[in-house]
Amino acid sequence: MASKVFKGMQVFEARRSSFIHRKPAPLDRLITARSGGRRIEIGVDENDVVSVCVFRGDDSTELGMDDVLRALEEDE
């Protein structure tokens, strides 16, 4: 699981975006970052399954990592 967690953190570090890494359950990890008025959450569960949600205001959308990278590129 660590490799997917670190890959998520590397995305934000490369963009110099601040993020928070949390452990909401014993085997789950959650990375939360803000960019361009959006909150991005990347979760990795005990089965190494990655989920990504992007929140804009009150709306949330589940996306893949490619969609998150495109959204971050729009902020440049």
- Render pLDDT for 29-38 as a digit per residue (tens, 0 to 9): 999 998 777 8
Question: Which of these, 35, 56, 4, lies nearest to 21 by C-alpha position?
Answer: 4
Judge whether 33 and 12 are in contact, CB under 8 Å. yes
pLDDT of residue 68: 67
One digit per residue, pLDDT tens: the chain, 76 residues? 557 778 878 888 888 888 999 998 888 899 999 877 788 888 888 888 888 888 876 666 666 777 767 766 665 5
pLDDT of residue 71: 65
3-class state of residue 66 by DSSP: helix
Task: Look up tokens 């909401």; give the residue.
Answer: 24
Question: Which of these, 43, 23, 50, 19, lies nearest to 32 by C-alpha position?
Answer: 19
Can you tell me the distance from the alpha carbon of 60 to that of 63, in angstroms, rounded to the nearest whole number?
A: 10
